Amino acid sequence: MGGRKASGRKTSGDTTGGEDRSPAALDAPYDGSTEARYPAPTAEEDATPAADLDLTGDAENLFDDEALLDDEEAEVGGEVAGGLIETVIEDGTPTGRLDAVLAARLVEALGPEAPSRARLQALVKAGKVTVDGRIVHESSRKIGAGARIAVELPPPEPATPEPEAIPLDVVYEDEALIVIDKPAGLVVHPAAGHARGTLVNALLHHCGDDLSGIGGVRRPGIVHRLDKDTSGLLVVAKTDRAHRGLAAQFADHGRTGALERAYIALVWGAPRAGGGTIDAPLARSTANRQRRAVARSGGKEAVTHYTVLERFGSGDEPIASLIECRLETGRTHQIRVHMAHIGHPLVGDEEYGAGFRTKVNRLPEPAHSLAAAFGRQALHAAVLAFEHPVTGEILEFESDLPDDLAALVEAFRAIP
C-alpha cells in the first residue's frame, strides 16, 4: 500500500462477489466486556462543573459523517454563536465582573471562535445578556456563585468562498461528479479559522460554477467530508441531481445500496483477532464540545466494523495493528472515538489517544522518530464505491496509503 496512488473502475453489475465483507460476516458485536486500557472519555464521565453549558442554539449537523473536519467544530461554534448560550457559575469557579466571567466561559465552550471581551461588552450594552433572567446593561456587574448567565449571540455572516489554484488529485470526473484523493492537512470547506485554502476553494477554481448548490455557500457540492488530517477518497457533486442521489446513498450507509467505504488505520495494541464490531452511541463531549464521546445514555447510534489486517511487534502483545474499518453509521470522529473506546486509539491521535507520547517513546528506531513526527491520526479513506446517481453504473475506487503513512507502517513492520 505504499505510495500516493488512487485507482478506480466502473461496473454495471453486482460487485459483491468474492470474500464476504458485509457487516453480517464480521465478528459478533463488541459487548464492552473488555476493559479499555486507553478509553476515550464518555459523554457523562468527562463532565466537569466548569463546562456545564447549555448550548440551546446547537442545531443538528446535516452532514454528520465520520469524516467531519477536526477544525469543523470551530464552525459549529460559529453556528452555535447564532443562538442562545447559557451557563451557571458553580461554587469554586472564578467570579468577578460579568464581561470577564462570561468571556472565560465562552472560551471554554467555543474555543478560539469565542467573541472577544470587547464584543461581549457591546452585547451587554445592547441588552443581549441576562443574569438570573433579567437583562443587564453593565459589564462591570459583579457575578457570584449560583448566577445563571445567558447571552444571545448574533448569527455569523456567511462568507462566499473564493476560487484558489490549489492542486487537486482528481481520480475521476464527469459532468455530474468528481472524485478526489484528498491529502492530509486539507480542510474540506471554509469554516471559522479556515476561510481560505480549502478543498472547496480548490474545487471552485477547478470546476468554476459547475458545483451543486445544495450544500450552501460554504459547502457547494459537498456530500460527505473527511477530517482535515485524514487522507483519502471523497466524492463531490457537480449537479443538484447528483447531490441528491449521492446524499441518499450516504444517508443509507450502504445498507441497501452500492455505497461502500473502507478506512485503513494504524492503531496501538492488538484488537481481538480477526476483527469485531463496536456498537456504542456517540454524543458531544460535555467537557469539550469540539470532541465526541461514547454516551452511556442517549447519543446517536454509531456502529463500526473492523478487521485486523496485520500485527506489528513480537512478544506477549503486539505493539500496534493495521486494521480496516467499515462504517454502518457515519458519525463525527466515529472511528477515532470507537477505537479509543476499546483501548486501541489511532497512532498519532493525540485528541483521543491517551498516553501517546509515552507509547511513542517506547518505540525503537526508526518507528520512534517517524511516529513522533507524524503529526496526525493514522487514518486513510482507502475504498469508495457508489452507484452513479445519473447513469446507474457502479463506480469503485481504491487509494494507496499516502507516503507518510506508508513509511510509518513500514517502520512498525520492521519492529522485531
Contact between 117 and 197 under an 8 Å Cβ cutoff? The reply is: no
Cell output for 177: 461528479
Q: Which of 65, 70, 71, 227 is catalytic?
A: 227
Give residues with Cβ within 8 angstroms of 281, minimum separation 6. 294, 295, 298, 299, 300, 301, 302
- The label of the residue with cell 491529502 reads 183
Helix or strand or coil: residue 242? helix
Contact between 40 and 349 under an 8 Å Cβ cutoff? The reply is: no
Q: Measured between alpha carbons, how far is residue 181 from residues 1, 7, 316, 382, 384 in Å?
A: 15, 10, 38, 9, 10
Judge if the upstream peptide bond of residue 366 is cis by omega within 30 degrees of 0: yes
10 Å CB burial of residue 92 (0-12, 13-18, 19+) is: exposed
Contact between 272 and 305 under an 8 Å Cβ cutoff? The reply is: no
β pairing state of 303-312 and 320-327: antiparallel
Cell output for 281: 452511541
Cell output for 4: 500516493
Query: Minimal CA–CA distance to 175: which of 246, 249, 241, 239?
Result: 239
Helix or strand or coil: residue 413? helix
Q: Measured between alpha carbons, how far is residue 51 from residues 47, 283, 286 in Å?
A: 7, 15, 7
Secondary structure, 3-state, 279-313: ECCEEECCCCCCCEEECCCCCECCEEEEEEEEEEC
Query: Minimal CA–CA distance to 371: which of 349, 339, 341?
Result: 349
User: Catalytic residue at 229?
Assistant: no
Query: Minimal CA–CA distance to 158: which of 218, 84, 113?
Result: 218
10 Å CB burial of residue 73 (0-12, 13-18, 19+) is: buried
Helix or strand or coil: residue 398? strand
Q: Which residues are catalytic?
A: 227
